[in-house]
Every structure is written in C-alpha cells, then in structure tokens.
Amino acid sequence: MPALLLALALAAAFAPAGLDLEWQAPEGCPTAGDVAAATSRLLGRPLDAGGPGERVRARGVVTREARGFYLDLELQSPAGRDRRSLRDRRCQVLADAAAEIFATAVDPNLAVGVPPALPPEPDGTWREGPAPSDMNQSASSPPAASSPAPAPAPAPAVTSAPSAADDPLAPPAAPARVAADDPLDAPAPPPAPAPPPDPLRASLRLAGVFDQGSLSGPTGGLGLALGVMRRGFRVELGFAGLAPREARPDPTQPPGARLSLWTATLRACGVAGLRPRLELAGCGGVEAGALLGAGFGVEAARTRAQPWFAVVVGPELAVPVARRLAVTLGVDAVVPVVRPLFVLDGVGPVFRAHPAAFRAVLGVQLRIP
C-alpha cells in the first residue's frame, strides 16, 4: 500500500498541467481560440488534459497603440507568478509569442525539446526592455519544509511563431522585415496636380506696321496673319502691304518712281510664359513678295515689279487680355537676300533696296478656341 501511494503521488507530481486562458484583443487580431489552438499545437495535446489542481492561469490583453500593438501578459502557475509586456507592429507576432510563452509555462520541458524560434523582426519603433517578473511563491500555498521548492519555469523568450517548415499547420509566416523609416507611417504626399491641357489653337491677327528701310523712306501699312499655336510655340503665315513712297534721283527734278511693297511671311516662334499675363517669343522666318515701282515725270513711264526675298528675325511680346484675345508687339530686323534695283530710262537709277530694314508690328490677336 505505501508503494502504491508513492506511485500515485509521483504520477500526480509529473502529470502535465492544464491551461485556463483569458484573452482580449482588438478586432482583426487573433482570437482566444486562435491562441489556444497555437498553444495546443506547441504542446502536442489538448489544453484541458492536465491533472486536477495542476492548472496554469494565463491572461493576455492586447491594446492598439499609435504605432502598433501592446500585449500585457500575466501567468499564475505552480512555479509562481509571472508578468510580461510586449510590443510589436503586428498583432499576429504578439499572439504567436504569447502562445509559446503559455506552452512553456504549461510544460517547462518544452523549452528544451522544441527548437528555439527566431525573435520577432525589429522595426526600430520600440526597444524591448526586461519584462517585470515576480516569481515569489504565493502566500496561500507555502512549500513543505521536507520537500524542495519547485524550480521556477524558465523565462520564456519573446519569439515569433514557428516557421511553416517546422509546422505545416502553423499560420502563414509574418511579412518581410519592415524598415525603420516605413513610408506607411508617414502621411501619403498629396498627388501632384495634373498639368493644364495644352490644346492646339488657331489664331488670327490684325496688325499695323511701321517700316523704316524697306522703301525709300519711313512708311506704314497693314498686316494680317493666320496661325496655329500652343503654349510653347506658334507658327504664322502673314500678309502685309506697305503704303507707297516716292523716290527721286534729284529731289529738285520731277522724274522719279512711286514704290510699294507686298509680302507674304512665314514665321515660327518659340514662346516662354514669363507671367500669367505676359508671353515673350523669339521669332524667325522668311519673307517673299514683290517690290513695285511706277515711274513718273518721264515719257513712256511704266510700272515694274522686282522680286523681294528677305530673312525676318525678332522678338515679340504678347499680353493676353482675355482667354481668346491678346495684344502683340513685335520688332523685326528685315535683311533682303537680293536687293532690287529700279532704273528710269534716260534718268538712271532711282532706288536700290537697303541692306537691312527695321519694322515694328502692333496687333490684336484672336485665339480660337
């Protein structure tokens, strides 16, 4: 009989303990059933298989923080009372760590038999300090003087869940390491504003022209230009006529010629927007037409036309006064490639085109649409 009692006492002493689990976590975190199932897998047996009276009481409370989750763990086992606090950016990591702590508290030998898992991946948010622990014996159940005090359970390390390679039933592994400067922590920058549309527009310009050098003296005229434009460029085809000017070899004598110029100009301009109400363009093109001369003061006077071909270069300033209306001012240098010559029979040369001319153009431009 004493031998049977001794065997029963030893069996009760070494019987595995059970677990009474209380778990609270925010929505989206593993539930108490998930944590209990993970603990059961680590133990290799149901949690309620412990002997009567040999129960480990565990309580875990997970709260959400600004940069992750906080876990407060409290254990009451035959080895004493233990309390821990853990933090991590992922609630799943805290649940896996709690399951392993619960399993080692129920079966201290599990820490020797189970290969250690890797610690949770650091993310630079918290520095984990030593967990407070009170391993004193409870006052209500002092150890017997004749038997040695039970050894305290080894402090479980803060670990993540076992890898899927060790346990095919384990949940999927945690995502890859999160950098300390996680761009998800910072507020997303506002999207860059889309550039305004730059449609192709048509233009119609009516301008007044002042010219010095194309004819025998200063003169004026009118011009009309049709073009296409965008924000950064403009191409125009213009037509202009200069009012006639008289040229005489001898101002005191009547013979002479009345000269006029008719041209067509093709120009291309690069446009830079200096301000919302100011556009500066650099323009260049070619001009072709006819220089007309009608003789007077002599017998058998007739009218002749000489071909006109010149290069035109100059800046232009545009001031939009409305969405479809702008005022333009351009200054051009006109360089004839061929200088026409007019001669009166019996009198001699009357006019020869100058090497260069100066022209100012002031206009009103209509932009469509």
Whether the predicted pLDDT of 239 surpasses 90? yes
Specify the CATH class of 12-134 in words: alpha beta
**Residue 268 φ then ψ, to 5°:** -125, 140
**Where is mean pLDDT largest: 36-40, 151-155, 181-185?**
36-40
- The per-residue pLDDT for 18 is 73
* pLDDT value of position 172: 52
Note the pLDDT of residue 312.
Answer: 97
Number of other CB atoms surrounding residue 220 within 10 Å: 11
When pLDDT is cut at 50, 70 and 90, the band that residue 245 belongs to is: very high
Question: What gap in Å lies between CA 99 and CA 106, rounded to an integer?
Answer: 11
Q: What single-letter DSSP state applies at residue 90?
A: -
pLDDT at position 178 is 44
Q: What is the pLDDT of residue 271?
A: 92
Tokens 């507020």, residue located: 187
Token pair belonging to 129: 């300090």
pLDDT of residue 186: 56
CA 309 to chain centre: 52
Mean pLDDT of 330-337: 96
d(CA 367, CA 339): 36
pLDDT confidence of residue 229: 92
- Tell me the C-alpha distance between 268 and 306, whole Å: 26
Residue 280, class by beta-carbon neighbours within 10 Å (0-12 exposed, 13-18 middle, 19+ buried)? middle
With a cut of 70, say whether residue 154 has pLDDT above it: no
Question: Which of these ranges, 136-140, 219-223, 359-363, has the smallest mean pLDDT?
Answer: 136-140
| Higher local confidence (pLDDT), 119 or 29 | 29
Portion of the chain with pLDDT greater than 90, in percent: 38
Q: What spatial distance separates the first Cα and last Cα of the chain, rounded to whole Å?
A: 112
Pick one of 3.30.420.40, 2.40.160.20, 3.40.50.1820, 3.30.830.10 as the CATH number of 201-368: 2.40.160.20
Dist CA 165 CA 173 (whole Å): 10
Backbone angles phi, psi at 151, to 5 degrees: -70, 140
Q: What is the mean pLDDT of residues 342-361?
A: 90
Average pLDDT score, the chain? 78
Maximum mean pLDDT: which of 56-70, 260-274, 298-312, 340-354: 260-274
User: Is residue 130 scored above 50 in pLDDT?
Assistant: no
Q: Select the more confidently predicted residue: 105 or 25.
A: 25
**At residue 127, what is the residue type?**
R
- What is the residue extent of each domain of the chain? 12-134, 201-368
- Integer Cα distance of 147 and 285 in angstroms: 111
pTM above 0.75, yes or no: no
Rounded Cα distance, 292 and 308, in Å: 10
- Domain 12-134 and domain 201-368, same fold? Reply is no
